[in-house]
């Protein structure tokens, strides 16, 4: 039975050290780069995951909400463990555990059983359902399944079960976040719009942002202004919960009533135009008040824009405390600029943060040389190009849309840079290129507590500049000749 | 199994354990309760069959820790083979989640002679509609072009591939001839079976059908040729066991599949003995090799000095006096080193209670290592075991301690609340839940980013890590003084 491929039986030869050395050199060449960039079908080390991961992150951002993956059991374990590893926190979520018979009969029974069991065991106030590949391919009608579940009594009357279709074969985790968010808001706000009512609050959308420090920073900024707000959705307490000896299944998240009332808000502001685009379209049609979309506030100028917009929307001056903070951040960057100026960076990530990293680097006088997104749009490409074109330091930058980290590796070898901004997955390329990797993106599997330190706002600028400049100084201290090793830097 | 020493734990009786299980099940809806009840039971060390039911469908909605067939194929069996490219065939996610997240370490140069990378066909909607076979053929050529030293390519199907009716086996066969490179199709879609276990089985069958016998060792076969099967080199385990076997005078011709080389795996039908660590994931090929090539196999446990010693002597029985003498020398050499480890850690760990919930071989094989440290295992269970795993577990576990199969998070939480262990050893999904309770925890799938834990090199690290977890002063900070 063996050898079904009909290949000739050969001796064990292994890989010779000569071949290994030859190919190791070859993959660093321009010739290899050309070959690598000619790939049509093979994707190697992509910097994005699939939709349901984003959907789960979003669902966790609502209070007492249990994410439910409708699909194979293994999918849920993959998403959960990704979030566990990044945050080093629990990520309770359930699955409808579809198997082979589901492929034949559909997943309705599985979903019904899952809803009934999950409600009994984990007592959520809301279950957010999203799909992985299997139900999408066999054509499960999740909406009808949920209606039937109510009729059958698997779900108590009035219990909320928003659902989103998040097939893994379109978009990325960023799109799944968006689809889940709009589905949850549609469910929560149904019938809640009250003519003439205004909560006086800001609805704030951060998109797929897996840095709990950022959420806390946004909240601090709103508090300094005295602006009441509703975060849509707030993962900060969920994925940065205190250790006090008690495990809580739902340690935080946006209260469902607040989210429901968000439709009567004074203003809705998104700092994730790419990760909340679908949600924003719907909000513009349905929500009271003003609707504004700003870029993610990475760097001084983009933080300024956020503060000015908040000031304008709520008729409040920028508080003196934030003005002073701005001054301190500017002081930090001017003090440190010499360690970053002219440095060349490779940058990759999700669209919203990628745009922000490029803007931040340009602001510092550094050059984003390779700008790569493994799941991006024409719109993103244009925005990035405009950014690069608008700065002296962007002139040498090139954009690589829908390329992966194996492409990036070729770029690092043929057109070297000083550092990479990305996520943990960039560490192999960084090691090969012998340059530092700054883990500002998602996920971070190999460093502790970085998801807790904000990178947005003025404090975020200080954090990023400190991390980057000190690392460059470390590198200098570790690699310079003895005669250039000195006390001061 | 006839010489089982019955171990007992103070305060744990069949009645107390059954009562705990009953209390835990109270909350379940009737149907789910009926499904879960047979998977939970007090241990009977003398049982002739498994105490709990296993390898059944996961109950929807209960929060199982299980993975899928693809995870068993990619993550467990195929992924660790270092000199071949493993293609996650389908959408981008599965390969991305399983990229570098098992800690099956490997030698070689990344992208040159080892391929611990995420290679995928990244299915888009059009591939679902029109099928992915053509794309796969192009992709395979690109793999050969860009990674010329890869000795083979595995094509690991994700859910959509089987659902849309692609024929990866035909593509693999055609492209193998065209590329003169083994292209091994593995129909391990995640919806198949009930857990990662079927993925192991499918992968074993694939090795049987496509790999074994396709290579021959160039050197002459010897009387001490063995293969190490079912060791995945988590945190470097193979790099601890292999030198130990070599120190005993054996010749380790192939490792399956930790730090594995596909050609050596393909030539394994010529060894004299197969040494199995993870019975669950590799017993299928062990049986095939026994039936087809007459290669006997032996299941060994290399966790903790007691089990290592027993295992080495059991192993020596299969060989001549030369090996027997070597083994005694090796044991004599390491015994004092191990004793020093025990002298250091055992006083700090004596009597501490452990609960385990893992997979593969760990829920039974690590029991002895904890006992070497003076600890007591008060509960154990598997994510994806079969009856024969539980048969092997019962004699290792103390009388009446709780066994749980495919435990839900709710059940684990309840058992931990009632049994109050000093340490929980389980996976990443469980880790932070228990740490929030202020409970010491070690990830026992991945050795919690440490290791190796196998054999004599591993035990001092294991002991240090367990002591570190249980006795870290940080746990004392959990309760605020106000």
Dump the DSSP string for B389-410: HHHHHTTTSPTT-EEEES-BHH
Rounded-to-integer distance, Cα A423 and Cα A421, Å: 7
* The pLDDT of residue A1 is above 60: no
Neighbours of B218 (CB within 10 A): 10
Which of these is catalytic: B71, B73, B274, B400?
Answer: B71
Write the CA distances from A458 to A307, A318, A324, A364, B391, integer angstroms. 11, 13, 10, 14, 61
Rounded-to-integer distance, Cα B381 and Cα B364, Å: 9
The predicted structure's pLDDT at residue A158: 94
pLDDT bracket for residue B163 (50, 70, 90): very high
What residue ranges in A226-327 does DSSP mark as E strands?
A: 229-231, 267-270, 290-293
* The pLDDT of residue B346 is above 80: yes
Chain A residues within 8 A of B161 when measuring between CB atoms: none
The predicted structure's pLDDT at residue B300: 98
**CB of B481 within 8 Å of any CB in chain A?**
no
Question: Which H/E stretch holds residue B462?
Answer: helix B455-471
Is B318 among the residues known to form the active site? no
Dihedral sign computed on CA atoms, order B395, B396, B397, B403 = negative
The predicted structure's pLDDT at residue B368: 98
Using the beta-carbon criterion (under 8 Å), do B196 and A74 form an inter-chain contact?
yes
Radius of gyration over every alpha carbon of chain A, rounded to an integer in angstroms: 24
User: What token pair was written down for A73?
Assistant: 């059991």
**Closest by alpha carbon to A451, among A252, A215, A230, A207?**
A215
List B225's β-bridge partners, or say none. Answer: B251
Dihedral sign computed on CA atoms, order B237, B243, B249, B250 = positive
Rounded-to-integer distance, Cα B164 and Cα A133, Å: 11
- Mean predicted confidence (pLDDT) in A249-257: 98
**Closest by alpha carbon to B302, among B271, B322, B278?**
B278
Q: Which CATH architecture has domain B225-328?
A: 3-Layer(aba) Sandwich (3.40)
Summarize pLDDT for A170-200 with one digit per residue, the tens.
Answer: 999 999 999 999 999 999 999 999 999 999 9
Name the residue of chain A whose CA is nearest to B90's CA.
Answer: A169
3-state secondary structure of B132: coil
The predicted structure's pLDDT at residue B21: 98
Please name the residue that has the structure tokens 């957010």.
Answer: A128
Using the beta-carbon criterion (under 8 Å), do B32 and A114 form an inter-chain contact?
no
Chain B residues within 8 A of A243 when measuring between CB atoms: 435-436, 438, 478
pLDDT bracket for residue B348 (50, 70, 90): very high
Superfamily, domain B69-193: Nitrogenase molybdenum iron protein domain (3.40.50.1980)
In this chain, the answer to whether the domains covering B14-62+350-449 and B225-328 adopt an identical fold is yes
- Mean predicted confidence (pLDDT) in A160-169: 98
The predicted structure's pLDDT at residue A370: 98
Rounded-to-integer distance, Cα A117 and Cα A96, Å: 10
The predicted structure's pLDDT at residue A175: 98
Neighbours of B331 (CB within 10 A): 18
The fold of the B14-62+350-449 domain, in CATH, is Rossmann fold (3.40.50)
pLDDT bracket for residue A103 (50, 70, 90): confident
Neighbours of B275 (CB within 10 A): 26
Helix count and strand count (H, E) for chain B: 20, 15
Summarize pLDDT for A293-304 with one digit per residue, the tens.
Answer: 999 999 999 999
Rounded-to-integer distance, Cα B324 and Cα A174, Å: 60
The predicted structure's pLDDT at residue B3: 64
User: What token pair was written down for A17?
Assistant: 């050290």
Is B200 among the residues known to form the active site? yes
* The pLDDT of residue B1 is above 80: no
- Mean predicted confidence (pLDDT) in B392-410: 98
Residue of A27, A57, A169, A426 to mutate, interface with B, max B Cβ within 10 Å: A169
List A419's β-bridge partners, or say none. Answer: A345
pLDDT bracket for residue A2 (50, 70, 90): low
* The pLDDT of residue A7 is above 90: no
Domain ranges of chain B: 14-62+350-449, 69-193, 225-328
Angle at A294 between CA A292 and CA A298, to 5 degrees: 155
Neighbours of B165 (CB within 10 A): 8
**Closest by alpha carbon to A440, among A207, A133, A214?**
A214
Calculate the CA dihedral of residues B239, B240, B241, B246 and round it to 10 degrees.
Answer: 80
Chain B residues within 8 A of A12 when measuring between CB atoms: 215-218, 261, 263-264, 266-267
The predicted structure's pLDDT at residue A5: 82
Count of residues in chain A: 489
Residue of B34, B71, B85, B92 to mutate, interface with A, max A Cβ within 10 Å: B92
Rounded-to-integer distance, Cα A87 and Cα A212, Å: 9
Of A2, A6, A35, the CB nearest to B145: A35
pLDDT bracket for residue B187 (50, 70, 90): very high
Chain B residues within 8 A of A115 when measuring between CB atoms: 61
Is B71 among the residues known to form the active site? yes
Say if CB A131 and CB A164 are below 8 A apart: yes
Domains of chain A: 51-189 (3.40.50.1980), 202-321 (3.40.50.1980), 330-482 (3.40.50.1980)
Average pLDDT, chain A: 97
Using the beta-carbon criterion (under 8 Å), do A42 and B119 form an inter-chain contact?
yes
* The pLDDT of residue B9 is above 60: yes
Rounded to two decimals, the pTM is 0.98
**CB of A9 within 8 Å of any CB in chain B?**
yes
Q: In chain A, positions 155-184, which contact chain B (CB-CB < 8 Å)?
A: 167-170, 172
User: How many interchain CB pairs under 8 A, A with B?
Assistant: 322
Average pLDDT, chain B: 97
Which of these is catalytic: B50, B65, B68, B152?
Answer: B68
Is B192 among the residues known to form the active site? no
Rounded-to-integer distance, Cα A202 and Cα A287, Å: 12
β B40-42/B402-405 pair status: antiparallel
Name the residue of chain B whose CA is nearest to A41's CA.
Answer: B139
Say if CB A400 and CB A408 are below 8 A apart: yes
**CB of B454 within 8 Å of any CB in chain A?**
no
**CB of B136 within 8 Å of any CB in chain A?**
yes
Of B59, B61, B112, the CB nearest to A27: B112
- Mean predicted confidence (pLDDT) in A270-280: 98
Chain B residues within 8 A of A121 when measuring between CB atoms: 27-28, 61-63, 408, 410
Q: Residue B211 has what DSSP assignment?
A: I
Rounded-to-integer distance, Cα B309 and Cα B335, Å: 9
Say if CB A235 and CB A206 are below 8 A apart: no
* The pLDDT of residue B326 is above 50: yes
Chain B residues within 8 A of A48 when measuring between CB atoms: 92, 96
User: What token pair was written down for A83?
Assistant: 């979030």
Which of these is catalytic: B103, B200, B269, B362?
Answer: B200
Residue A32 distance to chain B (closest CA, Å): 8
Summarize pLDDT for B35-53 with one digit per residue, the tens.
Answer: 999 999 999 999 999 999 9
Which of these is catalytic: B36, B102, B364, B454?
Answer: B102
Share of chain A above pLDDT 90, in %: 98
Q: Is the complex ipTM more than 0.90? A: yes
Summarize pLDDT for B214-243 with one digit per residue, the tens.
Answer: 999 999 999 999 999 999 999 999 999 999
Rounded-to-integer distance, Cα B439 and Cα A118, Å: 25
Residue of B25, B71, B107, B159 to mutate, interface with A, max A Cβ within 10 Å: B159
Q: In chain A, positions 349-378, which contact chain B (CB-CB < 8 Å)?
A: none
Using the beta-carbon criterion (under 8 Å), do B99 and A45 form an inter-chain contact?
yes
Longest dimension (CA), chain A: 82
The predicted structure's pLDDT at residue A168: 97
* The pLDDT of residue B2 is above 60: no
- Mean predicted confidence (pLDDT) in B315-330: 98
Using the beta-carbon criterion (under 8 Å), do A244 and B479 form an inter-chain contact?
yes
Say if CB A408 and CB A432 are below 8 A apart: no
**CB of B68 within 8 Å of any CB in chain A?**
yes
The predicted structure's pLDDT at residue A30: 98
């Amino acid at each position: 039975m063996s050898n079904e491929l009909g290949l000739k039986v050969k001796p064990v030869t292994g890989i010779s050290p000569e071949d290994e050395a030859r190919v190791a050199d070859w993959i660093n060449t321009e010739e290899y780069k050309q070959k690598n960039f000619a790939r049509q079908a093979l994707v190697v080390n992509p910097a994005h995951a699939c939709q349901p991961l984003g959907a789960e992150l979003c669902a966790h951002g609502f209070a007492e909400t249990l994410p439910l993956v409708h699909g194979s059991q293994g999918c849920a374990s993959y998403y959960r463990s990704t979030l566990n590893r990044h945050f080093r926190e629990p990520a309770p979520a359930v699955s409808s555990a579809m198997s082979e018979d589901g492929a034949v009969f559909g997943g309705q029974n599985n979903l019904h059983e899952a809803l009934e069991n999950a409600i009994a065991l984990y007592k959520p106030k809301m279950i957010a359902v999203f799909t992985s590949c299997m139900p999408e391919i066999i054509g499960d009608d999740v909406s009808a399944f949920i209606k039937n579940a109510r009729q059958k009594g698997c779900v108590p009357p009035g219990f909320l079960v928003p659902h989103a279709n998040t097939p893994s074969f379109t978009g990325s985790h960023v799109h799944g976040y968006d689809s889940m968010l709009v589905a949850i808001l549609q469910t929560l706000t149904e019938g809640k719009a009250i003519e003439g009512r205004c909560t006086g609050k800001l609805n704030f959308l951060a998109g797929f942002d897996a840095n709990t420090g950022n959420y806390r920073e946004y909240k601090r900024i709103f508090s300094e202004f005295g602006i009441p707000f509703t975060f849509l959705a707030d993962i900060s307490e969920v994925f940065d919960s205190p250790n006090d000896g008690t495990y809580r299944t739902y340690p935080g998240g946006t209260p469902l009533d607040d989210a429901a009332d968000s439709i009567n808000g004074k203003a809705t502001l998104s700092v994730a135009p790419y990760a909340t685009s679908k949600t924003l379209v719907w909000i513009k049609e349905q929500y009271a008040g003003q609707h504004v979309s700003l870029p993610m506030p990475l760097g001084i100028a983009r933080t300024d824009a956020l503060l000015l917009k908040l000031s304008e929307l709520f008729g409040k001056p920028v508080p003196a405390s934030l003005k002073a903070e701005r001054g301190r951040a500017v002081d930090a960057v001017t003090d440190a600029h010499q360690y970053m100026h002219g440095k060349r960076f490779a940058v990759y990530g999700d669209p919203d943060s990628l745009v922000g990293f490029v803007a931040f680097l340009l602001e510092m006088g550094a050059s984003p040389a390779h700008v790569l997104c493994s799941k991006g749009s024409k719109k993103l490409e244009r925005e990035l190009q405009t950014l690069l074109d608008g700065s002296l330091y962007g002139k040498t930058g090139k954009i690589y849309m829908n390329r992966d980290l194996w492409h990036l590796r070729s770029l690092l070898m043929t057109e070297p840079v000083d550092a990479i901004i990305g996520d943990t997955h960039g560490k192999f390329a960084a090691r090969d290129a012998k340059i530092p990797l700054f883990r500002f993106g998602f996920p971070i599997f190999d460093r502790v507590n970085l998801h807790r330190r904000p990178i947005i706002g003025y404090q975020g600028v200080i954090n990023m500049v400190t991390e980057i400049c000190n690392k460059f100084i470390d590198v200098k201290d570790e690699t310079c000749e003895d005669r250039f090793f000195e006390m001061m830097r | 199994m006839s010489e089982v020493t019955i171990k007992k734990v103070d305060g744990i009786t069949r009645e107390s354990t059954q009562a705990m299980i009953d209390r835990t099940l109270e909350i379940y809806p009737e149907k789910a309760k009926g499904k879960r009840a047979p998977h939970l039971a007090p241990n009977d060390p003398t049982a002739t069959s498994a105490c709990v039911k296993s390898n059944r469908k996961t109950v929807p909605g209960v929060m199982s820790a299980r993975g899928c067939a693809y995870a068993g194929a990619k993550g467990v069996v195929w992924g660790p083979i270092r000199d071949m490219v493993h293609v996650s065939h389908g959408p981008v996610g599965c390969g991305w989640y399983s990229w570098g997240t098992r800690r099956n370490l490997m030698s070689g140069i990344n992208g040159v002679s080892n391929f611990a990378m995420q290679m995928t066909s990244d299915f888009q909607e059009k591939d679902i509609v029109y099928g992915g076979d053509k794309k796969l053929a192009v992709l395979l050529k690109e793999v050969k072009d860009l990674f010329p030293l890869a000795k083979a390519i595995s094509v690991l199907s994700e859910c959509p591939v089987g659902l849309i009716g692609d024929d990866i086996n035909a593509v693999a066969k055609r492209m193998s001839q065209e590329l003169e490179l083994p292209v091994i199709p593995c129909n391990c879609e995640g919806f198949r079976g009930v857990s990662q276990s079927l993925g192991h089985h499918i992968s074993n069958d694939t090795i049987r059908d496509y790999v074994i016998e396709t290579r021959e060792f160039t050197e002459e076969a010897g009387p001490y040729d063995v293969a190490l099967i079912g060791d995945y080199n988590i945190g470097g385990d193979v790099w601890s066991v292999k030198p130990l076997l070599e120190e005993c005078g054996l010749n380790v011709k192939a490792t399956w599949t930790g730090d594995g080389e596909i050609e050596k795996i393909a030539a394994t039908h010529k060894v004299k003995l197969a040494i199995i660590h993870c019975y669950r994931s590799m017993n299928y090929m062990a049986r095939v090799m026994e039936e087809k090539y007459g290669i006997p196999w032996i299941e060994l446990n290399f966790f903790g000095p007691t089990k290592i010693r027993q295992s080495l002597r059991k192993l020596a029985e299969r060989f001549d006096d030369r090996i027997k003498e070597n083994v005694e020398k090796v044991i004599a050499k390491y015994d004092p080193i191990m004793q020093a480890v025990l002298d250091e850690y055992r006083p700090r760990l004596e009597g501490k209670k452990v609960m385990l919930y893992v997979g593969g071989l760990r829920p039974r094989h690590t029991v002895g290592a904890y006992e070497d440290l003076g600890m007591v295992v008060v509960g154990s269970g598997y994510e994806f075991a079969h009856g024969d795993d539980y048969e092997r577990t019962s004699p290792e576990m103390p009388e009446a301690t709780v066994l749980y199969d495919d435990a839900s998070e709710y059940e684990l939480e309840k058992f931990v609340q009632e049994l109050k262990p000093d340490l929980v050893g389980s996976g990443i999904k469980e880790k932070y839940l228990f740490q929030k309770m202020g409970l010491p925890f070690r990830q026992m799938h991945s050795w919690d980013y440490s290791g190796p834990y196998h054999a004599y090199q591993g035990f001092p690290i294991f002991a240090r890590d367990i002591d570190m977890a249980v006795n870290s002063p940080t746990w004392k900070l959990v309760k605020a003084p106000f």
